[in-house]
A and B are shown apart, each in its own frame.
Chain A
Amino acid sequence: MSREMTGAQIVVEALKEQGVDTIFGYPGGAVLPIYDAIFQQNDIKHILVRHEQGATHAAEGYARSTGKPGVVLVTSGPGATNVVTGMTDALMDSIPMIVLSGQVPTFMIGNDAFQEADTVGITRPCSKHNWLVKDTADLAETIHQAFHIATSGRPGPVLVDIPKDVQFASAPYKAKAKTSTARYQPQVKGDIEAITRAVEAFEQAERPIIYSGGGVINSGVASSQLLRELVTSSNSPITSTLMGLGAYPASGDNWLGMLGMHGTVEANLAMHGCDFMLCVGARFDDRITGRTDAFSPDSFKVHMDIDPSSINKIIRVDVPIIGDIGHILEDFLKVWKARGRKTKSAAIKKWWSQINEWQARNCLDFTNSDTIIKPQHALQRLEELTKNMDRYITTEVGQHQMWAAQYLNFDDPHRFMTSGGLGTMGYGLPASVGVQVAHPEALVINIAGDASFQMNMQEMATAIQFNLPVKQFILNNERLGMVRQWQQLLHGERYSQSWSESLPDFVKLAEAFGAKGILVSDPADLDEAIKEMLAYDGPVILDCVVEKHENCFPMIPSGKAHNEMILCDEETADAIDAAGKSRV
């Protein structure tokens, strides 16, 4: 006979049974019973954020750095509406997240009660699935289902809305083992015929490229190992999306750097010129493809993805393989090996000499300065001084994010947390909090811009409260850098609202929170400032004042193809035509 408990106790029990050790949340009237149940136990640690959006990004950081789902607990009404951005972010980037929200009691729903909102209605388009639980007897099963759905198939956010009377009422607890998950079982094994066809094309490839994405990382560390084995044993060049960085090591011999709008010349030209493309767990996002009708015109395309709706959505492919990347890669390698590990090695060698020529252009070179810190230089120094450390990087969104992807090297999966699909400014600081909670001993650095940092800077207080020594590395150009760059390229240098007129003194701000603040503006002092940041045992804001009008290159202007990149300021005149202007 199962034990009878209150709904609030059921929530805590179900979380424990699901192996949850940490939740990120903020209390309020409609979740008080659950907070009371949390108060009476010690197994689950609650991280009190300062804004519910912060809770969602912290949970994302926790999830992406561990591979486990992130759990968020918020109250009804504003608590629930504040999680919408984070849930949308998690949906776009396939992050497993379970949001538990309080709701007004069932008998008050629909009455426009205090702090009532149609939470399931509002979060329907930004969740993988959501539930309003109207009966305590269904609560445990719903939470177990929620974990199952959030973590299987293509991961994503789910929300369970729990009215206050359901939290107070009692019902027997239903164990995870007794919950049926048969209803949702996405295909994990790839079709072996399709895999064989892909291998056949792979064997014939003279100019292959492997283009990997976040799906490899979501599939688990073993998938990254399989990817590395495939790349190494076939000597294929590999590039990756922003979300996939670290699946193949940046220090690896076959690495071409990131591709796409701000990807490297060699990666984009290899994508354009290849005759065989193996897309592993990526989704042909518009930041990757550029102009779709000119995207990799001569290649045979194989697309491995767990989400059937990603197939042929943007780019038509020759062989789609639906399933979990780990399973598909394993079978792909098995078939390829069984058929004798064939490659056109002479042709691939020739392909590499072409790629080496492109690499020799050193597209990430920039003009350094000894009077002002260049943002690229700051990141190069940060990379140099931290590369051997147990390091996790988060970013905000904008120029600094792209520079971080270009100039920092990621040799392992789960080490780079950034908002890719949604592009959420304000992601990085709370994400760094979540990462540090999961990895208390590691070095966690948030690469930020002065504008993005201010979007969720209240979470510095969370870092202080829970002794989380997160390092905030602000590349301060007193601008909304990426907006400014686009205004320069697209809108006749009319910098509409992209200035930060009244920036706070970040050093004083750090001190006001109880953190350490460091200001650096002279390139000569940069290394010392970074070392000081690394040495301090506690949260730090490093205000790194950088060149104000530096542009992020290479850049595929909107509406252009992979072979139409611009590499420096001199090439920007009329780089974007009228059709490109209307794109984002």
Chain B
Amino acid sequence: MTLHLKKGSSRKSAYDLKNPLDELEETHTLAVLVDNEAGVLARVIGLFSGRGYNIDSLTVAETDAEGHRSRITIVTTGTPAVIEQIKAQLGLIIPVYRVNDLTVEGPSVEREMALLKVAGKGEKRVEAMRLADIFRANVVDSTLESFVFEITGAPEKIDAFTDLMRPLGLCDIARTGVAAMARGI
């Protein structure tokens, strides 16, 4: 039997048993292609704050310098009706070219990068190093009393790594937010 996993609706459960009309909240990843003009990010963020939508994660950078296009990746939570409304409202913003809901449009990959500073000595320092190895985190800065790890992966992986580093002397963390893309062509 194939499990029809619908990401977001099935975070806690392996089965997608959701009624599209019910009021349970789901998490969706939206890729928004915009003109890279002044104020475009403020328009997008203003829409979310003004209408009371959630932003779980937001990343933005220019992806096409010649065409002046930027890609905004937004992870948001809401009932199915709210998610539909968010997409429709985003579509009304004049500099928005396209809105893709990566959560429903087929399989996609999500990656996030984080920098974690872990300070410690002795056994804790060794343990941090060992765990970093397991998580395939890179050391990008090192002193005798600290490391800065760079880790890339799905947000859940970074959550897990962060939780492990906390008792080992985690003292600073910077996360980029999610970048996402549909699989295949």
- Is A491 part of the contact surface with B, judged by Cβ < 8 Å? no
Q: Which of A40-48, A122-130, A494-502 contacts B (4 or more CB under 8 A)?
A: A122-130
Could you say which residues of chain B place their CB within 8 Å of the CB of A313?
Answer: 85, 88
How close is A305's CB to chain B, nearest CB, in angstroms? 11
Q: Would you give the 0/1 interface string for B4-43, flagging 1 where the beta carbon is closer than 8 Å to chain A? A: 0000000000000000010000000000000000110011
Residues of B contacting A: mostly: helix
Q: Does B50 contact A125, Cβ atoms closer than 8 Å? A: yes
Could you say which residues of chain B place their CB within 8 Å of the CB of A316?
Answer: 21, 81
- Is B91 part of the contact surface with A, judged by Cβ < 8 Å? yes
Q: Does A132 contact B38, Cβ atoms closer than 8 Å? A: yes
User: CA–CA, A183 to B96, complex, Å?
Assistant: 10
Which chain B residues (34-66) contact chain A, with CB distance < 8 Å? 38-39, 42-43, 46, 50
- Is A311 part of the contact surface with B, judged by Cβ < 8 Å? yes
How close is B40's CB to chain A, nearest CB, in angstroms? 11
Q: Would you give the 0/1 interface string for A304-347, flagging 1 where the beta carbon is closer than 8 Å to chain B? A: 00011101110010000000000000000000000000000000
Interface residues contributed by chain A, number (CB under 8 Å) = 17
By a beta-carbon cutoff of 8 Å, the part of chain B in contact with chain A is: 21, 38-39, 42-43, 46, 50, 81, 84-85, 88-89, 91-92, 94
Known contacts A149-B94, A309-B89, A312-B84; 14 additional CB pairs below 8 A are A124-B42, A125-B46, A128-B94, A132-B38, A132-B39, A183-B94, A307-B92, A308-B88, A308-B91, A309-B88, A311-B88, A312-B85, A313-B88, A316-B21
Which chain A residues (272-317) contact chain B, with CB distance < 8 Å? 307-309, 311-313, 316
How close is A537's CB to chain B, nearest CB, in angstroms? 46
- Is A78 part of the contact surface with B, judged by Cβ < 8 Å? no
User: CA–CA, A307 to B21, complex, Å?
Assistant: 22
User: CA–CA, A120 to B21, complex, Å?
Assistant: 38
Cross-interface CB contact of A309 among B21, B39, B42, B92, cutoff 8 Å: B92
User: CA–CA, A308 to B88, complex, Å?
Assistant: 6
Could you say which residues of chain B place their CB within 8 Å of the CB of A149?
Answer: 94
Q: Does A309 contact B50, Cβ atoms closer than 8 Å? A: no
User: CA–CA, A197 to B33, complex, Å?
Assistant: 33
* Chain A residue with the shortest CB-CB distance to B94: A129
How close is A19's CB to chain B, nearest CB, in angstroms? 22
Q: List 24 A-B contacts (CB under 8 A).
A: A121-B39, A121-B42, A124-B39, A124-B42, A124-B43, A124-B46, A125-B46, A125-B50, A128-B94, A132-B38, A149-B94, A183-B94, A184-B94, A308-B88, A308-B91, A309-B85, A309-B89, A309-B91, A309-B92, A311-B88, A312-B81, A312-B85, A316-B21, A316-B81
